[in-house]
Copies of this chain bind each other. A is one copy, B any other.
Amino acid sequence: MIVSVFMGVSLDGFIAREDGSLDFLDFFSDPGEDYGYKDFMESVDCLLMGRLTYEKVCSFGSWPYEKPVYVYSNGTINIAEDLSQKVFQVNGMPKEVINKFSNMGFNRIYLDGGITISNFLKENLVDDITLTRLPYLLGKGIPLFRDWIGESKLKLISNKEYSSGLLQSVYQFEKKEKY
C-alpha cells in the first residue's frame, strides 16, 4: 500500500496561514487547471486526515470528497449524521492505522493535514509527496515540515511547471521496511 501526500506549499514552506486559511491559493487559481488534483484523487482509495484538517473541511459548507475520509484522532470527533457513510474515525499508532488500511485492501491513501503528515513522516510511513510550490512568500504560517522528522534523501520523480508560476514536483521516499 502506498501512502501519498499532495500539498500546495508557499515558497517559504507554509501550507496555510496561522489561522488555517488558504486564501493565498486563490491568487494562483487558473480556470480549467486543477494542478493534477482530479487525477490524483482518482488514484487513491481513501483520505486520511487529522482532526484540525477535518474541521477545516467541515467549515467549507459542502462536503468536497467522494472517497471515504478517515479522521485520525485519539480523542472524540463529531461526525454529522449526513456524513456518517462518508467519514469515519480511526485511532491508534500511525503504523497500526496503516496496517488496518492495508488489511482493508486499500492500494493508495491520501494523507492530509500538517500534524498528521509530520507524525507519519516521523515513522517513515510516507511513500511519496507531490509538492506544488507557489511563487509566494507567506512570511509565517503552518509549516509542512515541522519538528524533527528525521533526515532523509528522496528521489525526484517528476517536475512540472505551470504558466501561473506553480512548480509541481513528485518525490519518492526510500522506505526502510514494507507494510
**CA of A121 to CA of B139 in the docked complex: distance in angstroms?**
11
User: Is A61 in contact with chain B by the CB < 8 A criterion?
Assistant: no
**Shortest Cβ distance from residue A85 to the other chain B in the assembled complex, whole angstroms:** 37
CB–CB B171/A149 < 8 A = no
Q: Are A159 and B156 in contact (CB under 8 A)?
A: no
Chain A residues in the interface with B (C-beta under 8 A):
11-13, 27, 121, 131, 133, 135-140, 144-145, 148-156, 159, 161, 165-167, 169, 171
Q: Least Cβ distance of A159 to chain B in Å?
A: 5
Q: Please, which residue of chain B has its CB at the minimum distance from the CB of A171?
A: B135
Contact in complex: A12, B13 (CB < 8 Å):
yes
A167 contacts which of B12, B13, B159 (Cβ < 8 Å)?
Answer: B159
Q: Are A11 and B139 neighbours in the complex by a CB distance under 8 Å?
A: no
User: A152's closest neighbor in chain B, by CB?
Assistant: B137
- How far apart are A74's CB and chain B's nearest CB, in angstroms? 25
Q: How far is the CA of A151 from the CA of B140 in the complex (A)?
A: 9
Q: Is the CB of B139 within 8 A of A156?
A: no
CA distance A165 to B158 in the complex (A): 9
- A133 proximity list for chain B (CB < 8 A): 169
A165→B166 CA distance, assembly (Å): 18
